[in-house]
Amino acid sequence: MNTVKLSKYLSLILRHDPGSIGVVLDDEGWVAIDTLLERMAAQGRPVTRAQMDEVVRTNDKQRFAYNEAGTHVRASQGHSIKIDLELQPVEPPAVLYHGTATRFLPSIMQEGLTSQSRQHVHLSPDTQTAAKVGVRHGKLAILEVDSEGMAAAGHRFYRSANGVWLTDSVPVAFLSERPIE
């Protein structure tokens, strides 16, 4: 299995549907690597530890992480299943960004950003990262988030292990569309 396909498959299992191959994540989203590899092989998708290491090490978005002992793996964020990533609230930068498609703007500018099927809204620290995310969904739109204002109003922010900023929602009052350069 090539690294892109393996990354997508791991995302499915570790973020959304571990039961599809018969694994159970602990409360923090961790699963023993040996168990995961065994269950993947039983499903007809054999993967070596070296292949797993390669995906965890080289994934451009650092979607996955090993525990300190290197015995367990989990997704860094993006879960649609309830897990506790053990994130502590942190002070965000003054501005964060969210990449999306223009077709979603009317709804977003009416309702704000919501987590949809995930646990958190994902925000980017820069426009380049937001653009990479948004362009996957169609014609690009970048939203600027007044994260400083949100924090002052009591909203909490978290930063995942791979640098993605997370929050529960972003009300319309803290959003503005940023022109695409």
Contact 135, 180 (CB under 8 A): no
**Can you tell me the mean pLDDT for 77-95?**
83
CB 121 within 8 A of CB 169: yes
User: Does position 157 have pLDDT exceeding 90, yes or no?
Assistant: yes
The verdict on pTM exceeding 0.85 is no
Domain boundaries, the chain: 3-75, 96-178
Q: CATH classification of 3-75 is 1.10.10.970, yes or no?
A: yes
Which pLDDT does position 137 carry in this prediction? 81
**181: pLDDT strictly greater than 70:** no
pLDDT of 53 higher than 80: yes
Q: Determine the straight-line distance between the first and last CA of the chain, rounded to whole angstroms.
A: 37
Average pLDDT of span 62-81:
85
**Nearest Cα residue to 83 out of 14, 22, 12:** 14
Average pLDDT over residues 25-50: 92
pLDDT digits (tens, 9 = 90+) for 138-152: 899 999 999 999 999
Average pLDDT of the chain to the nearest whole number: 90
Task: Note the pLDDT tens digit of each residue in 101-115.
Answer: 999 999 999 999 998
CB 40 within 8 A of CB 47: yes
**Class of 96-178 per CATH?**
alpha beta
User: Is the pLDDT at 45 greater than 80, yes or no?
Assistant: yes
| 8 A C-beta contact, residue 175 and residue 112 | yes
